[in-house]
Amino acid sequence: MSTDQLSDIFAALADPTRRAILIRLSEGEASVTELAEPFDISLPAVSKHLKVLERAGLVKRSREAQWRPARLEAGPLRDASDWLERYREFWEERFDRLDDYLRETQGQHGADRKGRSERAATHGEELDSSPSSNKETP
Amino acid sequence: MSTNKLNVSAPADEPVIILTRTFDAPRELVFAAMTDPELIPKWWGGRRSTTEVDEMDVRPGGRWRFVEHDSDGNDWAFRGEFREIVPPERVTQTFEFEGMPGHISVDTMTLEEEDGHTKITAVSRFDSFEDRDGMLQSGMEEGAAETYDQLEELVTKQAQREAPQEASQEAPRV
């Protein structure tokens, strides 16, 4: 999926009315009139929202029936969701490792609550070589 | 094992993704881990990868480039430029995966310390979203509902509805 398509999808999803329309469509196809019912907006306004959703590939409108029902297209939604999921995994893995590293470093320097008192003196010396010590605002 | 969870949100009113995560460590230590080239390989990359810091010039305008070698012999390179360094509270840098050149995000990492814990808030702003300002402006003044949650909800619902017909037809996309 291209980043451009993703931008279209996220931009389409950014509007609460459009999200409500999608949620309604996830229950089954609907006409513009049906979609407009729960909202305090005009039919042309709903049509406009549908066009944005169509352009993003999230909705398809039937050409056959005269009332042109709209239905949800799941593929692009799933792609967008997968993309976010991969983004989350990418950072989660790194932040988990950062967390491990920070725990290790603090453990070594006796800063954790386990309190390895016997080695405290040695650790006191090690603190000076810690990459973080004395790194205050220059 | 940590109980601190990564939180991801994509707010409705801006073309950004926001990550937050708390670490049980003082801010200076977290800041050092993020800005010291010697420390990057200790946490950057997957658990079965090794990371090499090819370049890391931590000052405004300075370049960075990390190469991750995974266990299958693949190399993944990431690069960018530092924009702002405010020890120990903020780093702004650009981020680009070399496998997808041209798609650059501007990432701002803010570090806040409370009671010895540090919360990182990383805001990634995507250029390509910005390019679409005109479109993004339309009807976006509403509050910051979390698109990500909505997405998940929709995808789950849809998956349940379509499971019988579609489950095996679509190959997983990566």
The answer to the question of residue A134 being in a domain is no
The answer to the question of residue A48 being in a domain is yes
Q: How many domains does chain A have?
A: 2
Residue B23: CB partners within 8 Å, gap ≥ 6?
A: A95, A98, A99, A102, B4, B30, B117, B118, B119, B120
Same domain? A64 vs A81: no
Residue-number span of the structural domain to which A112 is assigned = 77-129
Q: No. of H helices and E strands in chain A?
A: 6, 2
* Statement: residue A136 has pLDDT above 60: no
pLDDT digits (tens, 9 = 90+) for B4-29: 788 877 765 667 788 899 999 999 99
Same domain? A116 vs A90: yes
Element holding B119 (H helix, E strand): strand B117-126
Cβ atoms of A77 and A9 within 8 Å: the answer is yes
Same domain? A68 vs A81: no
CATH number at residue A53: 1.10.10.10
Q: CA-to-CA distance for A23 and A26, rounded, in angstroms?
A: 5
The structure tokens listed for B146 are 């979390």
The structure tokens listed for B133 are 């300002």
Q: What sign for the dihedral angle of Cα B163, B168, B171, B172?
A: positive
Q: Where are the alpha helices (DSSP H) in chain B?
A: 27-35, 127-130, 133-137, 147-166
The answer to the question of residue A136 being in a domain is no
pLDDT digits (tens, 9 = 90+) for A47-100: 999 999 999 899 999 887 778 899 988 888 887 777 777 788 888 899 999 999
At residue A100, φ and ψ (nearest 5 deg) are: -60, -45
Looking at beta carbons, which residues of chain B come within 8 Å of A3?
100, 103, 126, 128
The answer to the question of residue A137 being in a domain is no
Mutate to test the interface with A, among B5, B142, B151, B160 (most CBs of A within 10 A): B151
Query: Into which CATH architecture does domain B7-162 fall?
Result: 2-Layer Sandwich (3.30)
Same domain? A53 vs A12: yes
* CA distance to A15, A25, A60, A72, A83, per residue, from A32 (Å): 17, 11, 12, 13, 30
Q: Whole-prediction pTM value? A: 0.64
Where among A52, A72, A92 does a domain terminate? Answer: A72
The answer to the question of residue A29 being in a domain is yes
Size of interface A-B (CB pairs under 8 A): 165
Same domain? A68 vs A10: yes
ipTM score of complex: 0.71
Where among A72, A87, A112 does a domain terminate? Answer: A72
Same domain? A65 vs A22: yes
Q: Which of A7, A13, A105 sits opposite B147 (nearest CB)?
A: A13
User: Residue B100: CA atoms inside 13 Å, Cβ hemisphere, count?
Assistant: 11
Same domain? A45 vs A99: no
Same domain? A84 vs A124: yes
CB contact under 8 Å between A97 and B47, yes or no, is yes
